[in-house]
Amino acid sequence: MRVHLVNPSDTSFGIGVITPRWLYVLAAATPAEYGDPLITDETLDQIQPDLIQPGDIVGIGIHTGNALRGMEVGRMARERGAWVAYGGIHATLYPEEALELGGAHVVVKGDGDIVWAKVIADLVNGTAQQIYDGGRISGDDFLPARWDLAPRDRYMWASVQTVRGCAKHCSFCSVWRTDGQKPRQRGSDIVIQEIVQLRRLGFRFVALADDNFYPVTLTDIELAEKQGNTARIEELKAMRAERFDLMEKLAKLPEDMAFFTQITMEAGEDTEFLDAMREARIHGALVGVESVTEEGLKAVFKTFNAAGDNLAKRLKPSRSTAYTCSGPSSLDCLQTARPLSRQRPHWPKRRS
């Protein structure tokens, strides 16, 4: 029996922009007794069906954009006699679709770092449930990825996660639904260890693939102070201090390294934070604009953003410190999940 982990894609380019971190986290979550999993990132190369044998376990991670291809892979794997398990954003929100359309034996909702080992054991023992809920584990329980299994010279950027979850609730975004509105931070030392490993493997460019690298705003702290909520003030200040501690350690890494992340526009008012980002060589940050009018922002529950002339004023400090990139949507917008049953019925055929 062998464990396969698949990142599905309709098109393989031979090279990827950013490492799909979840593949290598689940590789770390796979118990050693089952051997190293066979990892297939279809943005690099299409899966080889002949490698899947009866009794194997095939784990497939899907978001809405690659869900149809993922379900195609799942059906193929099940036809070959393998056990099929799904996870990821789309499977978390719409588990029934993987069961009905993707040939799934198992669907895993939420974080897979801990629950994946149980899923494998239950499949091997014939006691698997249809749905497992990995929940939202604490930052201390996040697993470092098995980057030793990643192919060399196939990705432009590596990826490391320092925090999961976002306190916002933008209507277009899946993050607060899947990862929660309480940011869960990893300790800075374990993050640095993972980045050092990546540098030793040859990666110089690293995406800090966080839902929101700026999880505590100055407004959050001010509001807690007005409420006299001492416990909340201490919690927020501790989280903020951890961010600065991480950036201080990033600044001490080799000077040829560069980092990129995503933040909310509110960071534009926090020049101390932006200065620390610059010192840490976080040379770019994706900021979601979504709308330039107050009415548009209100419609998507993003009133913490600025509009009109205030938009330019808010972004200006970011440009002078951390080279902020802004666009019509944030990275999270690309992860918006919708049930396939509500989407258009005619889909483009997969290109070889």
Mean pLDDT computed over 252-263? 95
Whether 134 and 113 have beta carbons less than 8 Å apart is answered as yes
Domain, as residue range, for 198 = 152-335
Which is more confident, 322 or 148?
Answer: 148
171-180, 285-294, 320-329: lowest mean pLDDT where? 320-329
Give the span between the Cα atoms of 285 and 265, in whole angstroms. Answer: 10
My answer on whether 164 and 255 are in the same domain is yes
pLDDT for res 130: 97
My answer on whether 96 and 157 are in the same domain is no
My answer on whether 300 and 231 are in the same domain is yes
Whether 173 is covered by a domain: the verdict is yes
My answer on whether 112 and 216 are in the same domain is no
Whether 340 is covered by a domain: the verdict is no
pLDDT for res 342: 46
Partners of 86 in the β-ladder: 60, 107
My answer on whether 23 and 86 are in the same domain is yes
Give the span between the Cα atoms of 17 and 173, in whole angstroms. Answer: 22
Give the span between the Cα atoms of 128 and 138, in whole angstroms. Answer: 25
The string of pLDDT tens digits covering residues 123-172 is 999 999 999 999 999 999 999 999 999 998 899 999 999 999 988 888 87
Which residue, among 157, 179, 183, has the nearest Cα to 263 in the 3D structure? 183
Six-digit token string for 336: 């918006």
My answer on whether 126 and 198 are in the same domain is no
How many domains in the chain? 2
My answer on whether 15 and 122 are in the same domain is yes
My answer on whether 268 and 327 are in the same domain is yes
Question: What count of other Cβ atoms lies within 10 Å of the Cβ of residue 93?
Answer: 17
My answer on whether 181 and 301 are in the same domain is yes
Whether 207 and 259 have beta carbons less than 8 Å apart is answered as yes
Angle ∠(55,60,62) on CA atoms, nearest 5: 160
My answer on whether 205 and 235 are in the same domain is yes
Whether 25 is covered by a domain: the verdict is yes
User: Average pLDDT of the chain?
Assistant: 87
Residue 268, pLDDT above cutoff 90: no
Residue 109, pLDDT above cutoff 90: yes
Q: Which residue has the tokens 């460019």?
A: 205
24-33, 67-76, 156-165, 313-322: lowest mean pLDDT where? 313-322
Angle ∠(48,63,335) on CA atoms, nearest 5: 140
CATH number at residue 167: 3.30.750.210
Whether 345 is covered by a domain: the verdict is no
Whether 46 is covered by a domain: the verdict is yes
Which is more confident, 73 or 348?
Answer: 73
The string of pLDDT tens digits covering residues 170-223 is 887 888 788 888 999 999 999 999 999 999 999 999 999 998 999 999 999 999
My answer on whether 238 and 162 are in the same domain is yes
My answer on whether 183 and 96 are in the same domain is no
Whether 52 is covered by a domain: the verdict is yes
